């Protein structure tokens, strides 16, 4: 059950100034990461897009996660149902983060980039993007079969674990994380994602408590 419900038929707000500000901020973040990539060392076109897709993919998935506790607020300020906006960012993130290892496998001519490494504790986290991708698709499957599995929300919440894996992977191996702006932006995104997980659970707990 959702933490609260919102009657969309009686309330059909248009996008507000706050909504425009939030969308503008999101666009600016995408542009900043793009510019950082443009003005960073580029080994090849493949290398450029491999890194850009990783940055934009994580950004998109983080935004999708951060907005989850704010169903009513999202609808009020953006004038669109939460689920539609959430799915836009989630789908965009899914596509981008999938093409990241695909392009890397093409340039490196190996499929090992999709297989988690258990050679050592450090190697596992160094290549944590691999299990992160697997977790991402497990979370996606849970949504697709939500009508058949009552516990699909629990499985879908693995998205937060995926974001943790992805962030650690980026910190350890991502060359773009040498840039201070990238470190700041993605640390805030990571913190915001974890905070949204906590807030969502608190709201759910309060909702269930009020019903008892």
Q: What is the pLDDT of residues 66-87, one digit of tens each?
A: 999 998 889 999 988 888 999 9
The torsion angle over the Cα atoms of residues 59, 65, 66 and 71, rounded to 10 degrees, is: 130
Contact in structure between 204 and 4 (CB atoms under 8 Å)? no
- Given a cut of 50, whether residue 5 has pLDDT beyond it is no
Please give the pLDDT value at position 1: 39
What average pLDDT does the segment 3-11 reach?
A: 47
Q: Hey, is 43 helix, strand or coil?
A: coil
Please give the pLDDT value at position 146: 84
**Which pLDDT tens digit goes with each residue over 46-62?**
889 999 999 999 999 99
**Which pLDDT tens digit goes with each residue over 100-156?**
999 999 998 999 999 999 999 999 999 999 999 999 999 999 888 888 878 888 888
Neighbours of 152 (CB within 10 A): 17
Ramachandran class of 115: left when φ > 0, alpha when ψ lies in -120 to 50, beta otherwise: beta
What six digits make up the tokens of 190? 């990571």
What six digits make up the tokens of 128? 């944590």
Q: Hey, is 66 helix, strand or coil?
A: helix
Pairwise pLDDT comparison (164 vs 44), residue with the higher score: 164
**Any idea where the domains of the chain sit in the sequence?**
17-120+177-211
Residue among 197, 207, 212, 107 at smallest CA distance from 157? 197
Please give the pLDDT value at position 31: 96
Cα separation, 99 vs 50, in Å, equals 8
Q: What predicted TM-score, i.e. pTM, was given to this entire model?
A: 0.88
Please give the pLDDT value at position 144: 87
Residue reference for tokens 């962030």: 167
Write the DSSP symbol of residue 115. Answer: S
Cα separation, 149 vs 153, in Å, equals 9
**Which pLDDT tens digit goes with each residue over 8-27?**
455 567 889 998 999 999 99
H-only helix segments in 71-179: 71-78, 82-108, 121-126, 129-144, 152-156, 158-173
Neighbours of 170 (CB within 10 A): 22
Please give the pLDDT value at position 6: 43
What average pLDDT does the segment 63-68 reach?
A: 94
Confidence of residue 174 (pLDDT cuts 50, 70, 90): confident
Cα separation, 183 vs 177, in Å, equals 5
């Amino acid at each position: 059950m959702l933490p609260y419900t919102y009657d969309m038929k009686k309330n059909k707000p248009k996008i507000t100034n706050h909504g425009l500000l939030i969308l503008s901020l999101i666009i600016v973040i995408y542009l900043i990461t793009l510019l950082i990539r443009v003005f960073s060392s580029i080994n090849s076109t493949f290398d450029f897009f491999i890194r850009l897709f990783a940055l934009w993919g994580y950004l998109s998935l983080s935004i999708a996660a951060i907005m989850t506790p704010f169903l009513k607020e999202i609808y009020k300020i953006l004038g669109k149902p939460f689920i539609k906006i959430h799915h836009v960012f989630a789908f965009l993130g899914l596509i981008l983060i999938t093409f990241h290892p695909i392009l890397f496998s093409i340039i490196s001519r190996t499929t090992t980039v999709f297989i988690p490494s258990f050679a050592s504790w450090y190697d596992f986290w160094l290549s944590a993007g691999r299990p992160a991708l697997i977790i991402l698709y497990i979370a996606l499957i849970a949504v697709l079969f939500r009508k058949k599995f009552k516990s699909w929300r629990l499985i879908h919440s693995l998205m937060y674990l995926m974001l943790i894996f992805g962030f650690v992977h980026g910190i350890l191996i991502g060359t773009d994380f040498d840039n201070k702006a990238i470190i700041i932006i993605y640390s805030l995104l990571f913190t915001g994602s974890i905070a949204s997980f906590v807030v969502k659970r608190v709201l759910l707990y309060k909702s269930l408590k009020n019903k008892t």
